[in-house]
Structure 1
Amino acid sequence: MSLRTVLTIAGSDSGAGAGIQADLKTIAAHHCYGTSVITAITAQNTLGVQSVEGVSPAMVAAQIDSVLDDIGADAIKTGMLFGEDTIRAVVRSLEKRFGKAKEGGRDAAKLVLDPVCVSTSGHSLLPLDAVDSLRADLLPWATVVTPNVPEAEFLVGWAKGSITSVDDMRRCAAELAGKGVRWVYLKGGHLPLPKGDEGDKVVVDLLYDGESGETSTEERRYLDVKNTHGTGCTLAAAVASGLAQGKTVSDAVSDAGDYVAAAIAASYPVGRGAGPVNHFHSLMPRSLPLPNHHSPTPFTDYLIRYAGDAWSRYVNHEFPNSLAAGTAKVEAFLHFLQQDFHFLKQYARANALAAFKTEDMALMQGSTHIVNDVLKETEMHVKYCETYGISREQLQAIPESVTNIAYTRYVLDVSSKGDLLDARVVTAPCLIGYGHVGARLVSSSPGVVVDSNAETNPFFGWIQEYGGEWYQGCVKTGIVLLEQTLAKSPVSAQRLDELARIFVKATELEIAFWDAAVVAGEKTRAEVMSHEGLPV
């Protein structure tokens, strides 16, 4: 198939998330050649539209003539048209090129009309006196019109909020088709509907055939994310690209709906407000979706799934299980406390390195919170050791074991040589795993033997610390930082695999760390104390 061309007639978005910029990205992503006619210039960003200035109708017409005289267009998409004079200039140019709309001109133009009236932030993008011209002059040219729910209500003169169901959408689409448009694709993104008993919501998009009166609908999962700037422009441009490639209207709108849904799921934060969708998700996809209502921790979930058996062996290890049951040897617990004290010092250094590796103050602050929590955790270890006659000075003087050295050096090596994501991932198994173990053992999960009596189980206090509100809050903070770091730094599939392997390696070193405690439990307390250089 030869290269197809799509002409977009719309306003310019200085933030590049909507308008001409979004259209051209979408057209390119669909492997078509995009040309453009600018109707207005906007000063806008992810926070909203600050100013709009129109291009003269004569210049709009000149642009259309220039493009069509040389390059032509296999399909045309219109967006923000600024005013009545501009709309009429566009219609005159269409008539000049294709003849009358009702005499075959519409079929030849393949025009997709995105009836841009008001921006998402509430800024008026089309004067009220231009709406009549849009309805009377331009709608008959549209092969497909793609309003959202508020736009559809506005175009047919219904009160705001009149559409509350799919049946309402169907009636509104039929009335809009009666104004001369061939197909109405009424988008349901502004009207998420409940689905099932789990609180899930879906978006229902409706396609209405203006000739036969037939209706079809499609459901897609509702993604509760803020990066939806430019979705209307993007969808209309995707529909136009499909028509240019010879697709039927039904296939073009269905494929466009899938494209936009994937672009929302694959978006990443840009600016301080509603960011754009990821127009090139099919060319340079996010390896994971952004956190959303249905999957709040996609990165963490992926890492744990990737670790598989190693993660299961870690969080179900016999050492913490024996602490919960009260059957652990004191020697094992002492060895763990002493070596974990040393590990936590290096763990704090790794998180300090994470703070060093970011310019984002929020992410930096998150790392400092973790460091402070680690310092609190080390003090907890000191107090436990003191109950067994080991002073702070003696604890600090105990040398690191070979197992501990292997783990701490790996964490520091990855944190120092890698980037912020490396530092986050290599420290994640310790933070998240201890939280998982603590929550599981405190809740007395099925199959777990727990002795919560302090008189018979001197170790249960340790379990309670990690299963309690303080440490579980630390885990939540760490997971949020992990997710935010990936959200702000989307990575390739290869890079994601590399990060997952780091996570697995750190998990295996955690297993070895607890294995060493179990081995230490096979020694007498005298042997342990003597080995560590402590008085027996």
Structure 2
Amino acid sequence: MVKVKEIKLTTNSISKTNLVAVLTIAGSDSSGGAGIEADLKTLTAHGVYGLTCISALTAQNTQLVKSFEKTPQPLLESILELNFNDFLFGYDHEPPLKVVKTGMLTREAINALTPYLSELNKFNVKLVLDPVMVSTSGSTLFKLQDLKYCADHLFKHAYLITPNFIEAQALVKTLSNRDIEKIQSLDDLLKFVKDVQTIVGCENVLVKGGHLPWDINTGKPTTDADTDTNSDFADHIVVKDVLYESKSDTFTIYESEYINSEDTHGTGCTLASSISANIAKGYNLSDAIPLSIDYIHQGMKSMGQKLGHGNGPLNHINNPTTNINSIIASKSHPFNHKDVLQYFKEHPKIKDNWKAYTQHEFIRQVVHDKLPFDRFLYFLKQDYYYLINYAQIHALAASVAPTYNQTHSESLIIGNIVNEIERHKQKLCDEYDIDYERDKDLDIELQPGSACLAYCDYLLKMGKSQDFIGIKVALAPCLHGYAEAGIYGKQLRESNKDQTISAVYESWLGDYSSEWYLNAHEEGKQALNELFRDEKLTQERIDELVDIFNTVTRLEEAFWDECLERVQ
């Protein structure tokens, strides 16, 4: 007898996201580590929508490019026409397409793109050009005559070009027909980078320094050959990537560690795509670049077992860093504040917001029995959804906790939150005949409102992008703010003893001024103090944590605001 299973699926509530788009014009890498494939993986990792125009199909792997077939120009023209018509033209608001990024180009691709250059400029779509000439395996992808053709048609329109040092040398030699002077000092390098921009005619140029590592002991460049003979090479050298911005006549030197690895397949494509994604998301160029360099380093260092038999690819599946301060080396010092919570809530940026949150009108209306009950019930429904998210963020904290004791502590907190969720659920059912699973599709108030969604989305973002200390700071305003709100409500209640108050409101206020909750409040304060006690932080990191605490404080305030706004 045939068995039939019927499984009913349901979709959890999901917040909407406005995506920006990047179009990549490049060759396809059949091994997936470079070209179009690397571009799409990188754009997706950065939360950016990727469009494609494949200039050529290749037969390649990590060892060699065996052959490739160019895409005919009429087909390229059709692809670009359809993409631009759909993602750039005809909008009554700002169109989604923000950047066009190019990799391996053919004359056919250049000819297809050229007619749109004025339109890209009109809509402020940035052109990021990665002059791919030779693959990591050593295969030539760009002939010199094609390089000149590209320079004549595209380079002067580029917002940014991203050659590595060898490609930059080829650009100068081919386009100016002059020999390259040896780079012996940083001044030589800066002069060379400016020469590249002047000769090419683009607005900005980033010359990548992986092929010209610098010895920190001598302050001079060295050669790749040294990496083969000196096992300690990486201990005393760095990479210097140099950005030159012509409009401001400014150099920015990004110094980072040298990763001694042959597995660099697709790093150039990936870096240019990452920069393009960050520009599309609104980062300025000087911030977009170091964030993208960090993404490359994460991709190289997080790759476990090697893929392929040749120059292996990096790991594109990692979460890009979004805060520039977290990756810039700066002088750190001990956090000399014994009461961490007091430091945050008394901080000038936070103080007024903290008071507005912990002495909120919502509390006053509850104490004076003036809050319409349907609005209090709405709050309880929203709080149920929030508590589920709150437990999830503690789970993320547990996953990055530095010690097993902290992991265990998070597991105990999650257990307490789960118990609170179950009590909350039972109360909704027993007292108000509300069953979350039964009614969530019928009762709109069981779906998260805008304030709840914004709060949960921010906590989730912090949980996925921050380290343990950052997540704990993001979680702190909830625990400690409700304790102080409970104390404030109790004080109001005691000064208005003649005021009648419903048993429901009395019970709710009592929960947050109760001995068990105040004990949790004190334990949380001690845990914060211990977490910060031996921590050395840069001022930039402290400022970032202040911003996190302040943002969550304002989100807590907005959570109650929404209930009051619905009353009016």
TM, length-normalised to structure 1: 0.49
TM-score by length of 2: 0.47
